[in-house]
Every structure is written in structure tokens, then in C-alpha cells.
A and B are shown apart, each in its own frame.
Chain A
Amino acid sequence: MPKQKYLCIQRSQSGKSEKPSPAQMEEMYAKFHAWKEKFQKNIVDMGGKLGSGKVVTSEGATDGPFVEAKEVVGGFMIVSAESLEEAMEVVRESPGVVMPGSSVEVREIHTP
């Protein structure tokens, strides 16, 4: 069965969270490293962080807000998996869901 691609959208709660210390960053880096090694076959595109931008409509463009929510879309990536369950498994262990208040939305990408 050909693998399916999934778009993963990382969200975090807006508002300030406590800055991690260098020692904690070390830990986060190590965790990320381990996760990436484990799922390297599933990771198609590590994506990236999303910066600021504009919302474009037929009537023009605004600065946003992009969505009316307390949560902020922080980044995205694309993984491949046999099933949504497998994709969820990849994401569940990712550092993106570790931070309190963070979540990752997993959506199948339908391509013709």
C-alpha cells in the first residue's frame, strides 16, 4: 500500500510560557534528535516555524488574525504513513506535543 502524506499543524497557546534554561534546551534537543532518528522514514518535510503574514481575500488583504482563537499556529511539517493511526503515532512522540498547551493537528493530504 502506497504511503499517504499527512500535514501536521503545530499549535501552541498564545501568551508567554517560561523560557527554557540551557539545560532544558539540551534535553529538548536530545529528545528531538532521538525522535527524528526513530521516525526518519516517516518525515517527508520538517516544515518550519511560521512567521507573520497577511490574510488575502478577494477584497484585499488584512494582517489577520488568521483564526479567532487563543491558540497560535506555530509551525507545520509533513509526514508519510500507512494510515492516520501511524501518522498519529509519529506525532504523538514528537517534541511538538510535549510542551504544555501545545497540540498537533494531523490531516491527511488528498492528492489526485
Chain B
Amino acid sequence: MSTPKLVEHFFRHEYARLVATLSRRVGVQYIEDVEDAVQSALMTALETWTIAGLPDNPPAWLFRVAHNNLMGELRRRTGRRRILEQNVKEHIGTLENGPEIFLAGEVEDDLLRMLFVCCDEAIPVESQLVLALKTLCGFEIREIALRLFASEANVYKRLGRARSRLRKLRLYPGKLTGKHYSSRLPVVHKILYLVFTEGYLSSQSEMAIRRELCDEAIRLATILAEHPAGQTPETFALLALMHLHAARMTARQDSSGALLLLEEQERALWDQQRIQVGLEWLAKSAKGDGFSRYHAEAGIAAEHCLAPSFRETRWNKVVECYALLERIAPSAIHKLNRAVAVAEWQGPAEGLAILKGFEPPTWLAGSYLWAAVLADLHRRCGYVHTANRYRDVACKLAPTPAVKELLQRRLQIGLPGGSLNLDKLESGVNRG
């Protein structure tokens, strides 16, 4: 009578799998009923398995219970009529021996389909993100709120918008056509990128929580990269950049949880195996002549991963990638990053020259990053007065104590050379 250990995140991932599979079968407009049925099946599993031990095939067991819950609910509500006859007729009566056999790849198909459903053009991007975190990662509203640094009410509202769109859909996720897949692919990339950066850049100080989001993004991006619908150079580049950043993640904090600059990071802590995986995806992404922003960003991350030391980084290559990035995806943050890289390559005065006369958009001007970089570059040029002015602004705008601590350390003392390289990615949907 033992209760064997389950694989990590079994409940969350089963939740995602079941929601994806069942909503394909009955139609995504019933997603809320599906979610309730799955939630209650998991609860039944928890109660039953802890007492009676695990069944032979836990996923099949869960599927049957969730399926029965859902059918019961739909049957009850529609008086045995419409939906059953129209949509799920073929599944009634096949429960005993049917659905527990999953064909290889079927689960991935369903998850992938769900991902494309979440990326419906009619759903605003901030709602797409929340919907993906809820259905594909199995997070609850309060858990999403914690991870996005948003209020529960805000997350609830965003989710509501996505759901109301899905309710109106008469299109089943199973009926997505090749056209949908290709037209929504860029949005899928964007959402996966956001899930990743929400973890990577989060103001949430707890590493485990942030790591979890990065892992989820990598899990979904891997499914995408291994599926015919997602095998494009952009997908591979996106996955490469995730691995190349994740490989350095634990080295970004010291033992007390304080943030470390790229220059201060212990390179021996970087996950070499993951860097290799990232580089393999990057090599794959080089096919064809498409060069996306993900290629540029993965290229920058790869340069950092491959450099034996901060000083020996090929800054000219980094600058080149930032210049490409600026061209493909114009954003003031790329310019700022390029200035930082140029300062390493050719000196702080050259870095400052890039930003001379540049009027940052308000979201950047109001962020600590802008002030911090200007403070750093001015300080290194010897313009103490201007440097101190920007430093005070940067410290005032610092979003977390950890960032403030880092800024004070970096900008206060007269360290010679060095740079304020903060491992920046473009600000996500909750920033900027």
C-alpha cells in the first residue's frame, strides 16, 4: 500500500493535458466546464490515490474520471440533447475501452492545438498570456497573479476577456486549419517569449517561482519545435535563446539572492549542458534566409555564453546583433543595449555618443534602466555631476530592493571600467 512518487508537476501538467484533450473533443467554447471537470477529477485522484495507491495508468484513470465528470455536467445541463448529439456522440459508450489509449504524439498535438487556440487574434495579448498560463501550465488565478505581479482581480478580468471570446467560437480547436497555424505562429512565439521573460526578468525574488515559468516556456516551445506545425527557423531560434538564457540563470544571483551583473557572475556556474542544447537549436535555426528578432537575441546570448570571460566577449558581434535587432524589431531598449555593448567595445564615450540626442519614449525614460545606463556611462567618462544625478533617479525608480542594492553598489563606488550589463531582454507585457 505505498503511494509512489509522481513525476514532477504531475498535477499541473495533467491538468493542461486533460483540458487540451477534452476541449478538443467537446469544443473549446465549453472550456470552463472542461476546467471544472478536470479540477474535480484531480481532486478525486488526490483523495483516492493517497489511500488506495496509484492505479496502473494514472493518466488514463484521470482521463476517465474527468471525461465522466464533463459528460455528466453537459448532459445534465442540456437535457441530454444538443451538444451530445452534435459534438460528442461518437464518444458516448466508448468509455470503457476507448479513450485510455493515447497514441504517441496525440497529447502533444492537443497541447499544441490549445496553444494556438490561446493565440486567437481576437484575444488581446495580455489575455492570451493569462489564458496560456491557466490552461497550458495549470496555474490558478492567484498563482498567475503572483507570477505576473498583477492583482487577482486584474488576472481575472484578463481571463474573462479571453473566455468570452472562446465562448463565442463555434470553431473547435480540432478544426484549426493549416492557415490558422501559420498565421498564428508569430503570436505563439510572442506568448512563449513572454512566459519566458516573465520568469527570467520577474521582480519576483524567489528563484524557484521564476525558474518554473522559464521551464514552462521551454517545455511548450520544445513541443512546438518538435511538431510539424511549428518547425520554423524562428521557433528554433526562440528555443535557443531560452536555453542560452536559462543556462545562466542561477548565476545571476549570489547566495543571498542579490542580483549580480554579468561581469560579476561566476561563469563556472553556467550550465554547460544547457548551453550546448541552446547552441544546437541555434545551429538548426540558421536554415533558410529568415532572420528574426529571436535569431538576433539568441545570437547575443550565445556570444555571452561562449565568451571565456567578460573582457574577452566579442563585443563587436554583440553590437552587430543589437543593430540587427533594432532594425527588425525597433525598440528603444535595443538602442540602449547597443550603447552598453558599444561602450564595452570602443569605450564609454562611444557608448554615450549612441544615445546623444536620443529622446527615449516615456516608458523607458521612466524606467530605472535608462537612468542607470546613463549614470554608468557618464561616470565612466568622468562626468561625476551628471552621473550622480542619473544615479539618484535610477535608485528612486528601482522596482525592487534587489535592483536598488545592485545600482547603489555599481554606481556609487568608483569602479574603474566595467559595465552595467544587466542581462536585459525587451520588457514584456507588464512592463514598459
Contacts and interface: CB of A to CB of B under 8 A. Distances in A.
Interface residues of A, number: 21
A32 B15 contact: no
B42 A25 contact: yes
B2 A26 contact: no
Contacts of B42: 22, 25
A19 B42 CA distance: 11
Contact of B140 (A21, A29, A32): A21
Interface string A11-26: 0000000011111011
A107 interface: no
Nearest to B13: A22
Given A19-B43, A25-B43, A25-B46, A33 B3 contact: yes
A19 to B, nearest CB: 6
A98 interface: no
Contact of A23 (B2, B49, B51, B139): B139
27 contacts: A19-B39, A19-B43, A20-B46, A21-B139, A21-B143, A22-B11, A22-B15, A22-B39, A22-B42, A23-B9, A23-B138, A25-B42, A25-B46, A26-B6, A26-B12, A28-B46, A29-B46, A30-B5, A32-B3, A32-B50, A36-B3, A46-B1, A46-B50, A46-B51, A49-B47, A49-B51, A95-B50
A40 interface: yes
Interface of B: 1-6, 9-12, 14-15, 39, 42-43, 46-47, 49-52, 138-140, 142-143
B140 A23 contact: yes
A29 B49 contact: yes
Given A29-B46, A36-B2, A48-B51, A23 B11 contact: yes
B159 to A, nearest CB: 14
Contacts of A32: 3, 50
Contact of B11 (A29, A40, A46, A49): A29
A66 to B, nearest CB: 20
A22 B50 contact: no
Determine the main DSSP class of A at the interface with B. helix
Contacts of B12: 22-23, 26
Given A20-B43, A33-B50, A37-B2, 12 more contacts: A19-B43, A21-B143, A26-B11, A28-B46, A29-B49, A32-B3, A33-B3, A33-B4, A33-B5, A36-B2, A46-B1, A46-B51
A29 B50 contact: yes
Nearest to B46: A25
A21 B43 CA distance: 9
A47 interface: yes
Max chain A CB contacts within 10 Å: which of B3, B6, B47? B3
A25 B40 CA distance: 11
A38 B416 CA distance: 57
B143 A23 contact: yes
B51 A47 contact: yes
Nearest to A47: B51
Contacts of B1: 40, 43, 46
- What 10 A-B pairs are tightest by C-beta distance, nearest first? A21-B140, A22-B11, A22-B12, A22-B138, A22-B15, A26-B11, A32-B50, A25-B11, A46-B51, A33-B3
Nearest to A48: B51
A46 B39 CA distance: 24
Contacts of A43: 1
B208 to A, nearest CB: 11
Nearest to B140: A21
Nearest to B36: A19
A28 B142 CA distance: 18
Contacts of B5: 30, 33
A71 B232 CA distance: 58
Nearest to A28: B46
Contacts of A26: 6, 9-12
A19 B143 CA distance: 13
A40 B143 CA distance: 33
A65 B47 CA distance: 24
Contacts of A37: 2
A49 B140 CA distance: 26
A64 B52 CA distance: 28
A95 to B, nearest CB: 8
Contacts of B52: 46
Contacts of A36: 2-3, 50
